[in-house]
Amino acid sequence: MAASALVGLVAAACGSSSASPKSISGKAKQTIVFAESGLGTEGAQTAKAIKGFEKANPNIKVSIDVLSPNSTTYLSQLEHDFISGSSTPDVFESDVTYPAKFAQAGWVKALTSFHPNMGQFFSHEVAAGTYHGTTYAIPWFDNPEGLFYRTDLIKTPPKTPNQLVADAKAAMKADPHLKEGLAFEGAKYEGAITAFLTVDSAFGGKLNPSNINTAGNKAALSFLYDSIYKYHIAPTAVTGWQEGQVEQEFVSGYTPFAIDYPFVESLATSAPVKGHVGYIPFPAAPGGTPGSALGGEMLAINAKSAHAAAAWKLISYLTSPSVEVARAEATGDPPSLPSAYTSALYAKAPYFKAVKTLNSYSAPRPVSPNYLQISSDLQNMISAVYANSISPASAIAKAAPTVRSDASATPSS
Amino acid sequence: MSGQAIAPAAASEAAPTGGGGGTARRARRSSRRAADRRLGYALVAPAVILLLAITGFPLVYNLWNSFHYVNLSYANVPQHFVGLSNYTRMFTSSSWLASLERTLAFTAVSAVFDTAVALGLALMLHRRFPGRGLLRAAILIPWAVPTVVSAMLWQTMFDPRAGFVDYFLGIVHPSWGSLTWAGASVLRSWVVVFIADAWKNVPFVAIILLAGLQVIPTEVYEAAKIDGATAWQSFRRMTLPLLKPAIMVALVFRTLQAFFVFDVIYIMTGGGPGTSTETLSFLNYQTFITNTDFGYGGAMSIVLIVMALVIAGVYVRVLRPEL
């Protein structure tokens, strides 16, 4: 802790000596730094795309800075660069929840001057990159969270949450290999919020920071709580599960239902789940709509970059249809361009049909410069409920004023 | 170091002298002393400068921040003086007060329990038995492992699917075979934090106590044995009193380590469920890193440092005769 604080302090102290943006001729040979978190196939695909970019733009060399795959550490690493006033990375991968905060802090460059064609992207992800009407980040790929189910065990996908519970119980009874009926992210981290959000709109809920104490939100959180303590279809172990553990439960054949991101589909490559994977929005309760949560990654430019034009060229290249499709086929990262969802893509990876359906339902998390504080409040609320320390209704009632206060906090307050 | 250099020169010139020669010698001696002093300062300067850079500067900068509004999330708001408002905000914050309570409780329990266990361990390692040297070396391994690594190891060991803890508990009683630990309840979350923290730190305390045991003269025990003292009486009336200085040194270290506990909580519980395992250091981290509020975070850090100094001061005052 002390070390982190020291790094932050020293970084802040050095901030005043930062480099100021310089305009560099488009013809000059230049190197830009691209910070991203991709490892494995994602990292390899990024490297491949960068090679293609460098070939098309011989005057620009891209240095890839691979940061932590852990989202919290990744954010800290980026923040240290920005706080110190560093002009690198020039371009960086950003979670959908970062742009508003970065824009308010003055760390990212407004992209208006590049005249981006935002109409070509999914509109909900465009909204995540927009702050006070200005575009600060471009959608790179779009990750709608939804409900996976085993098509061999669940013959007809459930139409309501109650039916999901009944199906899960029946499946657990019929198949002794199943260890639970539903797996979801319940650890105290950002994923617990997206799992909750996936269920939330199915009960008519909405994560509006000015008032989260609504009947829909209470019903959604109660459902997840009940799945552990009343229906007994989810184990208490969910309190330690992130998306990786949920994916493991599903692809290992331990659960007929799992709330997770699309990447699970590409990993379900062996028995007993191979060829038996369905992916749908969370079934709606009366008064709700099918549920999905918006996840995804965007691309943005450091406000102090000396190579903004080159950085923009890279963003344009990485978000072009052919590059996005190549990434989707190689890594399973769903394109952020609706136009990329073609029959050719479906022929190679049929599950993208389901992903596109989920895209039309995916609910965004609050777009706020104070989102990290809001997220912390929500994580506290959700983890306390899953640990059975407080009832869902009481937890939401208790968290509502804190969320409202944090969301509306300004420098003068 | 400079004192050692000066001593021989001073001794050689202690002989009586007289006249102008004496004055010249005194001048030479004074000049040599000044040169030695300069050399001493020059030799320690790099260390002092480094310490000031990595400790002094952040401390002063933090203190300055604590009296200012410094929130890096707001690009257009200049830093400005706010007096004591960061401190009053902290002392009236329910989350800070709750974290303080948790931190003090954890510190007290950890310091007492870990020192007691370490004492047992040190007494065992002090006895002669085959493989003692190997065991003494092996016991330091947990201490040498970085806290983040040891916390992740324990997280895996307490995992209800992959961990061995539930496996062995399940052998004892079938219903204990699938217990969920961190995150599943407040009590269990603290239990795993406590165990992981103790595993890491008890060996260090044990080594301090072992060193203390080794300087107790064996003649004392032999005399007690001749006088017919039982093992318990020897321990109670001789070992404990003679070990008191070492125990107190160990307590100071362990108390301050526990007071600043962060890594193990960050890895194992993330401060949850809810905020139930958030300690002062964890809250401080969140304020700095999540909220980028360096003014409020600075105030928290300063108060943490002051509290640590008070704890250390109390120990030193209480133990001065022994130390």
pLDDT in tens, A58-81: 999 999 999 988 777 888 889 889
The stretch B200-206 carries a mean pLDDT of 94
pLDDT value, residue B316: 82
The stretch B287-301 carries a mean pLDDT of 92
Which residues partner with A141 through β-bridges? A297, A335
Chain-chain contact of A104 with B288 (C-beta, under 8 angstroms) = no
- For tokens 């065992």, the residue is B124
pLDDT value, residue B98: 97
Calculate the CA dihedral of residues B214, B216, B220, B221 and round it to 10 degrees. Answer: -40
pLDDT tens figures, A235-280: 999 999 999 999 999 999 999 999 999 989 888 888 899 999 999 9
* Helix, strand, coil % over all residues of chain A, rounded to 5: 50, 15, 35
Buried (b) or exposed (e) across A214-237, using 16+ Cβ within 10 A? bebbbbbbbbbbbbbeebbbbbbb
Which residues partner with A34 through β-bridges? A64, A91
Is 80 exceeded by the pLDDT of residue A2?
A: no
Which residues partner with A150 through β-bridges? A277
Instruction: Name the more confident of A155 and A3.
Output: A155
Going by pLDDT thresholds of 50, 70 and 90, the confidence category of residue A411 is: low
Chain-chain contact of B270 with A379 (C-beta, under 8 angstroms) = yes
Separation of alpha carbons B196 and B261, rounded Å = 11
A4 and B CB contact within 8 Å: yes
pLDDT tens figures, A279-300: 999 999 999 999 999 999 999 9
Percent of all residues in chain B with a pLDDT value above 70, rounded to a whole number: 92
Q: Which two tokens stand for residue B310?
A: 């008070």
Chain-chain contact of A105 with B77 (C-beta, under 8 angstroms) = no
Tally Cβ neighbours within 10 Å of residue A56. 10
pLDDT value, residue B77: 82
Tell me the torsion sign for CA atoms A305, A307, A310, A312: positive
Residue A58, burial from CB neighbour count under 10 angstroms (0-12, 13-18, 19+): exposed
The answer to whether the beta carbons of residues B214 and B126 sit under 8 Å apart is yes
Amino acid, single-letter form, for residue B82: V
Per the omega criterion (within 30 degrees of 0), is the bond before A272 cis?
A: yes
The answer to whether the beta carbons of residues A85 and A305 sit under 8 Å apart is no
Tell me the torsion sign for CA atoms A31, A37, A40, A46: negative
Going by pLDDT thresholds of 50, 70 and 90, the confidence category of residue A1 is: very low
pLDDT tens figures, A320-338: 999 999 999 888 889 999 9
* Of residues B178, B282, B301, nearest to A5 (C-beta): B301
Chain-chain contact of B184 with A9 (C-beta, under 8 angstroms) = no
The stretch B246-265 carries a mean pLDDT of 94
pLDDT value, residue A27: 61
CA distance A262 to chain B (A): 24
Q: Which of residues 112-171 of B touch A (CB under 8 A)?
A: 159-161
Q: Which of residues 272-301 of B touch A (CB under 8 A)?
A: 272-276, 281-282, 284-286, 288-292, 294, 297, 301
Taking CB atoms and an 8 Å cutoff, what residues of chain A touch B284? 1, 5
Is 90 exceeded by the pLDDT of residue A350?
A: no
The stretch B274-280 carries a mean pLDDT of 96
Lowest mean pLDDT among A126-130, A344-348, A398-402, B289-293: B289-293
pLDDT value, residue B182: 87
Separation of alpha carbons A50 and A44, rounded Å = 10
Taking CB atoms and an 8 Å cutoff, what residues of chain A touch B62? 5, 9
Is 90 exceeded by the pLDDT of residue A175?
A: yes
pLDDT value, residue A149: 97
Going by pLDDT thresholds of 50, 70 and 90, the confidence category of residue B3 is: very low
Instruction: Report the relative pairing of strands A30-36 and B80-81 from DSSP bridges.
Output: unpaired
Q: Which contacts of A153-160 are long-range, i.e. CB under 8 A and separated by 24 or more positions?
A: A153/A178, A153/A256, A153/A276, A154/A256, A154/A257, A154/A278, A157/A278, A157/A280, A157/A283, A158/A283, A159/A283, A159/A284, A160/A283, A160/A284, A160/A285, A160/A286
pLDDT value, residue B10: 43
Separation of alpha carbons A197 and A272, rounded Å = 29
Q: How far is CA B262 from CA B181, B257, B268, B285, in A?
A: 19, 10, 10, 9
Q: How far is CA A7 from CA A11, A71, A94, B56, in A?
A: 6, 19, 22, 14
Is 80 exceeded by the pLDDT of residue A218?
A: yes
pLDDT value, residue A73: 81
Is 80 exceeded by the pLDDT of residue B197?
A: yes
Q: What is the DSSP letter of A21?
A: P
Q: Which two tokens stand for residue A323?
A: 């590059």
Percent of all residues in chain A with a pLDDT value above 70, rounded to a whole number: 93
Length of chain B: 323
pLDDT tens figures, B41-93: 999 999 999 988 898 999 999 999 999 999 988 877 888 999 999 999 999 99
Walk me through the domains of chain A, giving residue ranges and CATH numbers: 22-142+295-359 (3.40.190.10), 144-293+367-408 (3.40.190.10)
* Of residues A6, A79, A381, nearest to B292 (C-beta): A79
Separation of alpha carbons B45 and B60, rounded Å = 20
Taking CB atoms and an 8 Å cutoff, what residues of chain B touch A12? 70, 72, 294
Chain-chain contact of A383 with B183 (C-beta, under 8 angstroms) = yes
Chain-chain contact of A236 with B184 (C-beta, under 8 angstroms) = yes
Is 50 exceeded by the pLDDT of residue B1?
A: no
Lowest mean pLDDT among A127-141, A346-360, B295-309: A346-360
Q: Closest Cα partner for A374 from B291, B188, B260, B99? A: B291
In DSSP notation, A273-324 reads TTT-EEEEPBPPPTT---B-EEEEEEEEEBTT-S-HHHHHHHHHHHTSHHHH
Length of chain A: 413
Tally Cβ neighbours within 10 Å of residue B211. 13
Amino acid, single-letter form, for residue B89: R
Buried (b) or exposed (e) across A253-289, using 16+ Cβ within 10 A? bbbbbbbbbbbbbbebeeebbeebbbbbbbbbbeebe
Q: How does the average pLDDT of chain A come out, rounded?
A: 90
A-B Cβ pairs (cutoff 8 Å, strict):
136
Walk me through the domains of chain B, giving residue ranges and CATH numbers: 2-47 (no CATH), 85-319 (1.10.3720.10)
The answer to whether the beta carbons of residues A67 and A37 sit under 8 Å apart is yes
Taking CB atoms and an 8 Å cutoff, what residues of chain A touch B54? 6
Which residues partner with A291 through β-bridges? A282
pLDDT value, residue A18: 36
Cα end-to-end distance, chain B, whole Å: 24
Q: How does the average pLDDT of chain B come out, rounded?
A: 88
Separation of alpha carbons A106 and A110, rounded Å = 9
Per the omega criterion (within 30 degrees of 0), is the bond before B273 cis?
A: yes
Separation of alpha carbons A322 and B125, rounded Å = 67
The answer to whether the beta carbons of residues B234 and B224 sit under 8 Å apart is yes
CA distance B71 to chain A (A): 8
Q: Which two tokens stand for residue A395?
A: 């937890």
pLDDT tens figures, B133-169: 899 889 889 999 999 999 999 999 999 888 889 999 9
Amino acid, single-letter form, for residue B23: T
Q: Closest Cα partner for A308 from A84, A73, A96, A21? A: A21
User: From B289, which residue of chain A is nearest by alpha-carbon distance?
Assistant: A76
ipTM value greater than 0.90: no
Q: What is the DSSP letter of A270?
A: S
Tally Cβ neighbours within 10 Å of residue A186. 33
pLDDT value, residue A315: 97
CA distance B250 to chain A (A): 22
pLDDT value, residue B176: 85
pLDDT tens figures, A11-23: 334 433 333 334 4
pLDDT tens figures, B8-30: 444 444 444 445 667 888 888 88
Chain-chain contact of B73 with A101 (C-beta, under 8 angstroms) = yes
Helix (H) or strand (E) holding B256: helix B240-259
